Amino acid sequence: MEKILVGLKRVVDYNVRVRVKSDGSGVETAGVKMSINPFDEIALEEALQIKERGDASEVIVLSIGTSESQQQLRTGLAMGADRAILVTTDDELDPLTRARIFLEVINREQPGLVVLGKQAIDEDNSQTGQMLAAIWGRPQATFASEVKLDGDTATVTREVDAGLETIEIDLPAVVTADLRLNEPRYVKLPDIMKAKKKPLEELPLSDLAIEGAPAISSTAYEPPAVREKGIMVEDVPALIGALKDKGLA
């Protein structure tokens, strides 16, 4: 295939302990480290490996957000993507609107495969990939742990609750990456320098004629209920005693 399109979302870094703002209006993101959504990094790694095997000629990374998302796209370019597209908006967008933006970019670029993360670790929605496949009218292979390409089809192993499921899909299609799909490569310094010269196109969302979806509004944020700290026991007999007290042994 000619092109693979990969989505990269800028999110609060995996290691940051996220806190709710004291007025309940949102979560604290000011001054917090931001990174590529980890599942999107896995998606990009898969696309790069497909290209390196000779099954694709170009990997395009797409992000939607403020100009700050350029950082994550530059990291994607340093990992090995060939060019980047940033659809710029100051608005917080819902998954269906994001899917519609992806579809618009698909219509322009005609990729043979779209790879996204299975969920973003900020909103934890796990919706955009499935929604994109639906409105595109194409197959979805979600929670993928292995992707084998064979001409116009792909065989994908999926991590499902029961175990590992295998499906065969016609291309083009949407694949969403699960943890075990691969291990993303580390970016090397010379690649960061090279990435600065790679093309990064900015498209204002207002130029794209995307129909907004009915949004679900977030009206209040609160910290989760805290579990009471329990007791510490010295040894196994004391542990068994404590379990017996609770009727659990």
Partner 1 sequence: MTKILIIAEHDGSSMNPSTAKCVTCASGIDGATIDVLVLAADAGAVAAEAAKLNGVSRVVTIERDENAQPVAAILAPQIVAAAADYTHVFGPSTTFGKDVMPRVAALLGVNQVSDIMAVNGSHTFHRPIYAGSAVVTVQAPAGAKLVATVRTASYQSAANDGSAAIEALTVDAEIPTHTRFVGVEVSESDRPDLQTAAKVVSGGRALASEENFDLVYALADKIGAAVGATRAAVDAGYIASETQVGQTGKIIAPELYIAVGISGAIQHLTGIKDAGTIVAINKDEEAPIFEVADIGLVGDLFTVLPELTENL
**Contacts with partner 1 in 24-53 (CB under 8 A)?**
27, 39
Tokens of 133: 């496949």
Q: Closest separation between CB of residue 221 and partner 1, Å?
A: 5
Distance in angstroms (rounded) separating the CA atoms of residues 51 and 109: 17
Candidates 1, 62, 159, 182: give the one binding partner 1 (CB under 8 A): 159
Candidates 34, 71, 121, 198: give the one binding partner 1 (CB under 8 A): 121
Region binding partner 1 by CB under 8 A among candidate stretches 42-50, 90-98, 184-192, 193-201: 90-98
Candidates 13, 123, 146, 191: give the one binding partner 1 (CB under 8 A): 123
Region binding partner 1 by CB under 8 A among candidate stretches 53-61, 76-84, 169-177, 184-192: 169-177
| Contact partners, residue 145, CB within 8 Å, separation at least 6 | 157, 158, 159, 164, 178, 179, 180, 181
| Contact partners, residue 27, CB within 8 Å, separation at least 6 | 12, 18, 19, 20, 21, 221
Handedness of CA 162, 127, 174, 75 (dihedral sign): negative
Tokens of 221: 């944020």
What string marks each residue from 50 to 79 as x (binds partner 1 by CB under 8 A) or -? ------------------------------
Q: Which is nearer to partner 1, 190 or 230 (CB)?
A: 230
132 three-state secondary structure: helix
Site for partner 1 in 215-244 (CB under 8 A): 215-225, 227-240, 242-243
Q: Closest separation between CB of residue 195 and partner 1, Å?
A: 28
Q: Closest separation between CB of residue 28 and partner 1, Å?
A: 10
Q: Closest separation between CB of residue 155 and partner 1, Å?
A: 7
Measured CA distances, 38 to 153, 169, 191, 199, 248 (Å): 27, 25, 20, 23, 38
Site for partner 1 in 178-197 (CB under 8 A): 178-180
With residue 5 as reference, give the H or E element that holds it.
strand 3-7
